[in-house]
Amino acid sequence: MYTNRVMKQGIHAKNYRPVVFQDLNDKTTILTRSTVEAEETITLDGVEYPLVKVHISSSSHPYFTGEERIVDIEGRVDKFKARTQAAQKAKAEKIAKAAKTPKAKKAVKPEAQKLGAETPKAETAEQ
């Protein structure tokens, strides 16, 4: 039988309130409830709400929109491409250097004798 249970008192956040999240890519706003701290405010439908600005949300993320586009924040894509090109150049130089230098042949070491093994005796010709 279902009984009407009351939530425990004193363990839940006190500042759970309506908050607006704004996507900086397309200026879309999403009104939801949250405990996040916000310094800015925004007025929607005549009501003032705390404002949290985000770089990517469901309205601009390629997974949700189905679009492929590059969102370059603080030059991350350019930095990645530069690192990739530098790594490819260093690898090519290393391969070219290895191709130019002849490989030294390893000296063949004589086989070591095992302990307790008999030494090979020179066969003497019978007279």
pLDDT at 62: 63
SS3 letters for 39-106?
A: CEEEEECCEEEEEEEECCCCCCCHHHHCCCCCCCCCCHHHHHHHHHHHHHHHHHHHHHHHHHCCCCCC
Q: What is the pLDDT of residues 75-115, one digit of tens each?
A: 777 888 899 999 999 999 998 888 887 766 677 777 777 77
pLDDT at 88: 94
CB atoms within 10 A of CB 43: 10
pLDDT at 99: 83
Say how far apart CA 30 and CA 116 lie, in whole Å.
83
Mean pLDDT estimate for the chain: 79
Q: If you average pLDDT over residues 43-62, what whole number do you get? A: 85
